[in-house]
Amino acid sequence: MTIRVSVDGPVGTITLDRAAKRNAVTYDMWVALGAACHQVAHDPAVRVVLLRGDGAHFCAGADITELLAERPQGTPSFMDVNMAAEHALAALPKPVVAVVQGDCIGGGAALAIDCDIRIATEGSRFGITPSKLGIVYPPASLERAVRLLGPAAKRLLYTGDLIEAAEAYRIGLVDELLPTDEVEARVAQLCTTLSERSLLTQAGTKQMVAAVLAHGSVPAELAESWAREVAAAPDPQEGVNAFVERRAPRFTWTERTQE
């Protein structure tokens, strides 16, 4: 299925493993990617998730040769499994970091946008390319692109042009842009930081930020749900105790990753 999942301590890594095709995502890979997201979401040992591409490229997009292939009646379409995988990635209740090198184009750019943080190497390229295929970008993918990029998304969507990493950084598509030989150290440092922080804070913040971006505010029922979770969770008391005792906190909340 050419999707690999590995867990090293608190870090779960999902790797697109089709380097010979620049990690272009097939039907089976979309299915496997969705399953991989659910796997790391429900693993209490995993506190932060990396999304990577094997080899020289992050992802050249969906495998176009499969896009319009006929499938047996009752079988989910290519777009169905694509959108299901993207939703699973975007909704994953843990911090997700895309580590981008080489090409990050089409569906690859969508996957990077689905992540919370994007770290890219100098020399990588980005593009959102539906206009080159004569298709309309899926609404959910378009919404996430516009929420991240604002009006800058229109130029990429209209032209399908590829942009260099420096331009992607300038418009906010990339959070951190680093020389190739510095990326792994920075990713390891970031994973350490994220895994030491409260997953309760991260999960609640992720849901509420998504609500603000989608609706302009946090719905009362969502705020109340997280208030109840905070009241019952061990993390707030541990955070206060650690502060008073001048030590690093040991946060243990994982309940919502089990839902």
Give yes or no on whether 3-194 and 198-258 have one common fold.
no
CATH, domain 3-194, list 3.90.380.10, 3.90.226.10, 3.30.565.10, 1.20.1260.10: 3.90.226.10
Question: Above 60 in pLDDT, residue 259?
Answer: no
Burial of 84 per CB tally in 10 Å (0-12, 13-18, 19+) = middle
Task: Indicate the Cα dihedral angle 84, 90, 94, 97, nearest 10°.
Answer: 120
Q: Report residue 256's pLDDT band, with 50, 70 and 90 as the boundaries.
A: low
**Is it the case that residue 73 has pLDDT exceeding 90?**
no
Alpha-carbon distance of 157 to 106, in angstroms, equals: 10
Task: Read off the DSSP letter of residue 102.
Answer: S
Element containing residue 153 per DSSP (H, E): helix 152-159
What pLDDT is recorded for position 65?
86
CA 105 to chain centre: 15
pLDDT band of 68, cuts 50, 70, 90:
confident
Residue 72 pLDDT: 85
- Confidence (pTM): 0.94
pLDDT of the residue at 255: 64
> How far apart (Å, rounded) are the C-alpha atoms in residues 25 and 76?
16
Domain 198-258: give its CATH code.
1.10.12.10
Is residue 29 exposed (0-12), middle (13-18) or buried (19+ Cβ within 10 Å)? Answer: buried
Calculate ∠ Cα 181-186-187, nearest 5°: 105
* pLDDT one-digit tens code per residue, 196-251: 999 999 999 999 999 999 889 999 999 999 999 999 999 999 999 999 999 999 99
Torsion-angle region of 23 (φ positive above 0: left; ψ -120 to 50: alpha; else: beta): left
253 in Cβ contact with 226 (< 8 Å): no
pLDDT given for residue 257 in this prediction: 39
Is the separation of the CB atoms in 199 and 253 below 8 Å? yes
Please provide the DSSP assignment of 22-46 as one string.
Answer: TTPBPHHHHHHHHHHHHHHHT-TT-
Residue 156 has pLDDT above 80, yes or no: yes
Q: Which regions of 125-229 does DSSP assign to beta strands (E)?
A: 125-127, 163-164, 176-178
Element (H, E) at 6: strand 3-8
Mean pLDDT score, 158-178:
97
- How confident is the model at residue 71, as a pLDDT? 82
Which band of pLDDT confidence, cut at 50, 70 and 90, is reported for residue 258?
A: very low
Percentage of the residues of the chain whose pLDDT score is greater than 70:
98
CA distances from 38 to 33, 107, 139, 180 (A): 9, 20, 22, 30
pLDDT classification of 67: cutoffs 50, 70, 90: confident
Closest CA to 229 of 206, 203, 195, 210: 203
In the chain, what are the domain boundaries?
Answer: 3-194, 198-258
